[in-house]
Amino acid sequence: VDPAVARAAREHQDRLTKPRGSLGQLEDVSVRLAALAGRVPAPVPASPAVAVFVGDHGVHAQGVSPWPREVTGQMVANFLAGGAVVNALARQAGAVVAVVDVGMSIEASAVIGAMPGLDRRRVRAGTGDITVEAAMTRDEALAAVAAGAAVADGLLRDGHDLLVTGDMGIANTTPSAALIATLLGADPAVVTGRGTGVDDATLARKVDVVRRAVARAAGDGVGAGDPLGVLASVGGLEHAATVGFVLAAAAARVPVLLDGVIACSSALVAAALVPDARAAMFAGHRSVEPGASAALAALGLVPLLDLGMRLGEGSGGVLAVGVLQAAARVLAEVATFDSAGVTDKNAADGLGAGDA
Amino acid sequence: VDPAVARAAREHQDRLTKPRGSLGQLEDVSVRLAALAGRVPAPVPASPAVAVFVGDHGVHAQGVSPWPREVTGQMVANFLAGGAVVNALARQAGAVVAVVDVGMSIEASAVIGAMPGLDRRRVRAGTGDITVEAAMTRDEALAAVAAGAAVADGLLRDGHDLLVTGDMGIANTTPSAALIATLLGADPAVVTGRGTGVDDATLARKVDVVRRAVARAAGDGVGAGDPLGVLASVGGLEHAATVGFVLAAAAARVPVLLDGVIACSSALVAAALVPDARAAMFAGHRSVEPGASAALAALGLVPLLDLGMRLGEGSGGVLAVGVLQAAARVLAEVATFDSAGVTDKNAADGLGAGDA
């Protein structure tokens, strides 16, 4: 992105009829959107789309979640029927929901059979158990990244101009924590959370599982300097697809709203592969999963919402769509002091109009 | 509100296809909306309206703001032309904006002349200087409360089902701080903020001004036990109108989104007059003004957004419209475990479906 465009956006923001800085984070978002689009003001995103990437996890066998793997499939059926939270929030935001199987298990996919509406791009039927083996091969990781990128490209071709990450996969906060611990060199105890709300005993087991996965990957010679290797070793198929989805949005200079810890861990991989991709990333919300905050801090992203959410599905990303659109709209539509004939005290003393 | 309805709403929320509690604050908002409406689920608000109440302040003479009083009128013209931040955010939210003069000064109203579109309900031309005299008489305060209630009633008759508070008035964070300090018995230094962003010297002067106003009111025998007296003594005309607006919404059991410190100080008065009115209040955002947080804590309200905003106009309230609608929509539209055929682990162990 061009720093001159960001500067021009900031200057335009400072001429709007309001005290400088009085819109806080909305101002920063509007400047970042302009820099990403390469023009001031940026277009106001009009057609959001959320992609829910679905995968299952071999590490489920370690007892990190009380939910059976079939629930992944049951929830996919729920998404396709429009009955899940992400569907309700997407209707509120005027967003479409794409549901993409990149890695459902046999058990999960048996639940839904030939149900129409599912975008079938399965790379493999669930990952390996990351405590004892790599989640997938490097080729499989690349194939899932490509699948996610293809989904983004399709949505962009259909005219969508704001992408939102979503995910479904029983046990998927465990590989998320493993990705974050490995990429940031963080203590698994610090970045592993309760997911759906597991009890203390399960949390302790989960931390141990993440620790073993991180150690196993290190033993296999996989480290933070090889982000694709880390993704294949301790990640998930929905994580890999999200990496591709984010990178494709960034390549098209289209904003992508990140949801929770699955998205944040995937965004870490994407940023490690293509540092400039961060310019397209916007954090929808702060998940209560501790790994999400660690990843956001590392990415330098400040979330738009902080509502104590921990659902996944893309719910926290799609809920933030209106806030991101509002930021763009302010820069695009608000009158300047000159055009509105409002006395500007900004120039004199760094203040601005509005209530004081 | 009926606690049985709130209980039924919570029970329904717990049957939705997601882990219990995983939507954090959205769940609490959905339950409060149902309790307010008296039915489960509550209707999803479809037609929001923001009322921007406008007043001027005699205390402006004390140098609490660098902006001339004319800016109040210039900004009213900007609102009526659709060029202000609140207009842009209202378009984003699908909300109408009503601009209501309840107390503009002669200087401010001279700027706009006979401009059409302004709802003219002026009770008096600006308040008295609260450091030396009451802002207004008790009768004037009541008249402004009635004006605000009439605006709410008109919007409700027009079919609006979600009201948002807004304000404009150069210097109006000063009476807001005086209201909060008096009603909560708080130290003026703790609840007085920088408003548009005044410098250290002006902030120190502003704290002193608030301290003198609070002392003058106490000397006049006005205390927290007489909320209408406090409103008349140290408040503003837009504050009084906001009190009436909030009380009318509450009487109609319609949710009202509070904006920043002007709204929060007014809501304190409304809650002191009619404690049950709190059931209708939803905090749109956490203003950076310290008095706003003090008032929200006293009201027991948790803000939906926290974006470092301090503009007023209703901007932080109208920005939260989509989040409130989303909360209602979840309770109204999301499938239950039974209806969607999703295995429910909630019952067994307090968890739920989704990613884990």
CA distance, residue A334 to nearest chain B CA (Å): 5
Report the pLDDT value the prediction gives residue A353, as an integer from 0 to 100: 40
Catalytic residue, from B140, B289, B313, B333: name it: B313
Q: Once rounded to an integer, what is the mean pLDDT over residues A83-110?
A: 97
CB atoms A74 and B325 under 8 Å: no
pLDDT band at B1; cut points 50, 70, 90:
confident
B83 shares contact with chain A (CB less than 8 Å): yes
Q: Once rounded to an integer, what is the mean pLDDT over residues A8-12?
A: 98
pLDDT above 80: residue B62: yes
pLDDT above 70: residue A354: no
A301 shares contact with chain B (CB less than 8 Å): no
The answer to whether the beta carbons of residues B309 and B315 sit under 8 Å apart is yes
**Rounded Cα distance, A313 and B54, in Å:** 43
Instruction: Please state which of the ranges A106-120, A231-245, B153-167 shows the lowest mean pLDDT.
Output: A106-120
CB atoms A307 and B304 under 8 Å: yes
CB atoms B355 and A71 under 8 Å: no
Phi, psi of B2 (to 5 degrees): -95, 115
From the list B23, B93, B309, the residue facing A22 with the nearest CB is B309
What percent of chain A stands above pLDDT 70? 97
CB atoms A353 and B307 under 8 Å: no
Q: How many CB atoms sit inside 10 A of residue A59's CB?
A: 29
Report the pLDDT value the prediction gives residue B356, as an integer from 0 to 100: 45
Q: What is the pLDDT of residues B216-244, one digit of tens each?
A: 999 999 999 999 999 999 999 999 999 99
DSSP H or E run through A139: helix A138-157
Mean residue pLDDT of chain B comes to: 95
ipTM value: 0.96
Phi, psi of B150 (to 5 degrees): -65, -35
From the list A71, A75, A322, the residue facing B322 with the nearest CB is A322
Q: Once rounded to an integer, what is the mean pLDDT over residues B65-72?
A: 93
Chain B, 111 to 130: residues with Cβ < 8 Å from chain A are none
Q: What is the pLDDT of residues B113-136, one digit of tens each?
A: 888 999 999 999 999 999 999 999
Q: What is the pLDDT of residues A154-182, one digit of tens each?
A: 999 999 999 999 999 999 999 999 999 99
Catalytic residue, from A27, A140, A313, A333: name it: A313
A222 shares contact with chain B (CB less than 8 Å): no
* Region label for A185, one of left (φ > 0), alpha (ψ between -120 and 50) or beta (otherwise): left
Residue showing tokens 């955010």: B89
Report the pLDDT value the prediction gives residue A345, as an integer from 0 to 100: 79
Residues of chain A positioned with their CB less than 8 A from the CB of B88: 326, 329-330, 332-334
Residues of chain B positioned with their CB less than 8 A from the CB of A23: 85, 307, 309, 311, 315
Report the pLDDT value the prediction gives residue A356, as an integer from 0 to 100: 45
B24 shares contact with chain A (CB less than 8 Å): yes
Report the pLDDT value the prediction gives residue B354, as an integer from 0 to 100: 41
pLDDT above 70: residue B352: no
Q: Once rounded to an integer, what is the mean pLDDT over residues A36-43?
A: 98
CA distance, residue A251 to nearest chain B CA (Å): 27
What are the structural domains of chain A?
3-43+330-349 (1.10.1610.10), 48-323 (3.40.50.10210)
What percent of chain B stands above pLDDT 70? 97
CB atoms A288 and B322 under 8 Å: no
Residues with Cβ within 8 Å of residue A233, at least 6 apart in sequence: A130, A134, A135, A182, A216, A217, A220, A222
CB atoms A312 and B20 under 8 Å: no
Using alpha carbons, list the distances in angstroms from residue B57 to B218, B233, B323: 20, 12, 33
A327 shares contact with chain B (CB less than 8 Å): no
A with B: how many residue pairs have Cβ under 8 Å apart? Answer: 279
What percent of chain A stands above pLDDT 90? 94
From the list B20, B64, B66, the residue facing A349 with the nearest CB is B66
Q: Once rounded to an integer, what is the mean pLDDT over residues B277-299?
A: 98
Q: How many CB atoms sit inside 10 A of residue B326's CB?
A: 27
B314 shares contact with chain A (CB less than 8 Å): no
Q: What is the pLDDT of residues A198-254, one digit of tens each?
A: 999 999 999 999 999 999 999 999 999 999 999 999 999 999 999 999 999 999 999
Q: Once rounded to an integer, what is the mean pLDDT over residues A22-39?
A: 98
Beta bridge partners of A53: A100, A167
Of all residues in chain B, the one with the smallest CA distance to A323 is B319
B108 shares contact with chain A (CB less than 8 Å): no
pLDDT above 70: residue B157: yes
Task: For the sheet with A162-168, list strands across it.
Answer: A119-120, A96-103, A48-55, A162-168, A256-258, A281-283
CB atoms A66 and B356 under 8 Å: yes
Report the pLDDT value the prediction gives residue B156, as an integer from 0 to 100: 98
- Does A313 qualify as catalytic in the annotation? yes
pLDDT above 60: residue A48: yes
Beta bridge partners of B281: B256
pLDDT band at A352; cut points 50, 70, 90:
very low
From the list B17, B87, B315, the residue facing A75 with the nearest CB is B17
A347 shares contact with chain B (CB less than 8 Å): no
Of A335, A352, A26, A304, give the one whose Cα is nearest residue B194. A352
pLDDT above 80: residue B267: yes
Report the pLDDT value the prediction gives residue A115, as an integer from 0 to 100: 85
Mean residue pLDDT of chain A comes to: 95
CA distance, residue B121 to nearest chain A CA (Å): 20
Report the pLDDT value the prediction gives residue A347, as an integer from 0 to 100: 54
Report the pLDDT value the prediction gives residue B289, as an integer from 0 to 100: 97
Residue type, A325: Q
